[in-house]
């Protein structure tokens, strides 16, 4: 097959590309230039999409002996990922930009262009499995490496998009990927993983949001007493379940730590309370996507994941009259924020995903 390999400049995408070459495919490498400041250099293990990453991807392509190109998608990345990220926080929600990037950039813009250019599939270094059933339908599943599994951030993909995707690393741990890269002579074998949000290279999310939205001082209110216990510089900088950074001016009588319970962007108010008040047992989620192409039989029961790292719970699910998912958690969970994705799993197979709109006790 004619394969387009998305090469980020990291070790995972380099090894995934190498495996596609070994399988006998006609492979072309492409690096996505997503940063609007490509002259920036990498800050430790934070961020990606820097000029160094582009050079690392090109070197890997040279070692593998494949053609290599750079596609400038910075403007679309700004519109579909960065602007969406800022708008979601401004609305009091907590988005996942990696999930949006997979949905709008890597498996929409890139896949559409690849198909238009005659490529049969796009290969990436994501740690996830694609299992094909007897009908030829691909099913997304967890990686064998639980610590590196990325099925959660891929769960927004449709069955049609998955038909043209390849994830060669789903059966390989990160340690094994690095060892293989070293054996192949790839210079990225020991390159640190990127962390945090790729377009916030210094890891200061609050500072980034302030630079985009400005200072918006408002009250921090205690849920029990109704009293103002502090002031914030922008409700957009907080998320449900957050404890650090509140800097409450007035001590609370019971001496218990306070967490963010709700964010009200219209009133520019944050409500805080005790950890017990974070417990939720019911989650409502919008715009479900079924990665296998069809919805499961309802009522459904399985496991849901509500954060990229953690937030696992046994649950049931039904569909309401408006097409929203109504999820009942069999054990309560904390820190579930609107804007995050909830992903449904049947054992290790992804059933589908939706965007959390509300969570209740």
Using CA of residue 14, residue 16, residue 19, residue 25, what is the dihedral sign? Answer: negative
- Out of 48, 49, 98, 198, the active site residue is 198
- Dihedral angle over CA of 348, 350, 356, 358, nearest 10: -60
Both structure tokens of 350: 């992804």
34 to each of 54, 71, 122, how far by Cα in Å?
A: 10, 9, 18
Beta bridge partners of 32: 71
Which tokens sit at 354? Answer: 């939706």
51 within 8 A of 34, measured Cβ to Cβ: no
Identify whether 101 is a catalytic site residue.
Answer: yes
Is 49 in the active site?
A: no
In 69-97, which positions are buried (b, 16+ CB within 10 angstroms) versus exposed (e)? Answer: eebebbebbeebbbebbbebbbebbbbbb
Tell me the angle at which helices 51-64 and 11-22 cross, rounded to the nearest 10 degrees: 20
Catalytic site positions? 101, 198
């Amino acid at each position: 097959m004619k394969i387009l390999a998305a090469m980020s400049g990291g070790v995972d995408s380099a090894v995934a590309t190498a495996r596609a070459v070994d399988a006998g495919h006609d492979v072309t490498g492409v690096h996505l230039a997503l940063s609007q400041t490509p002259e920036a250099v990498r800050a430790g293990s934070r961020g990606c999409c820097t000029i160094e990453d582009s050079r690392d991807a090109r070197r890997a392509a040279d070692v593998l002996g494949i053609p290599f190109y750079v596609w400038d998608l910075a403007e679309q990345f700004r519109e579909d990922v960065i602007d969406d990220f800022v708008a979601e926080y401004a609305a009091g929600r907590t988005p996942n930009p990696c999930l949006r990037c997979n949905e709008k950039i890597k498996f929409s813009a890139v896949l559409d262009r690849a198909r238009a250019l005659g490529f049969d599939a796009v290969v990436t270094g994501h740690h996830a499995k694609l299992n094909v059933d007897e009908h030829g339908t691909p099913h997304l599943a967890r990686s064998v490496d639980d610590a590196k599994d990325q099925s959660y951030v891929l769960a927004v993909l449709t069955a049609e998009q998955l038909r043209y995707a390849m994830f060669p690393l789903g059966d390989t741990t990160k340690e094994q990927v690095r060892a293989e890269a070293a054996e192949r002579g790839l210079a990225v074998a020991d390159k640190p993983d990127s962390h945090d949000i790729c377009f916030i290279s210094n890891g200061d999310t609050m500072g980034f949001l302030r630079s985009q939205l400005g200072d918006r001082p408002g009250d921090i209110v205690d849920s029990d007493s109704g009293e103002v216990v502090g002031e914030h510089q922008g409700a957009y900088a907080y998320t449900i379940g957050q404890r650090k950074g509140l800097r409450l001016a007035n001590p609370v009588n019971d001496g218990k730590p306070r967490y963010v319970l709700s964010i009200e962007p219209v009133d520019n108010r944050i409500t805080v309370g005790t950890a017990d008040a974070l417990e939720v047992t019911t989650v409502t989620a919008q715009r479900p996507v079924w990665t296998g192409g069809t919805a499961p039989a309802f009522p459904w029961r399985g496991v849901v994941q509500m954060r990229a790292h953690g937030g696992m719970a046994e649950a049931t699910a039904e569909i309401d009259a408006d097409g929203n998912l109504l999820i009942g958690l069999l054990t309560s969970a904390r820190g579930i924020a609107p804007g995050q994705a909830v992903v449904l799993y049947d054992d290790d197979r992804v059933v589908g995903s939706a965007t959390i709109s509300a969570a209740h006790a």
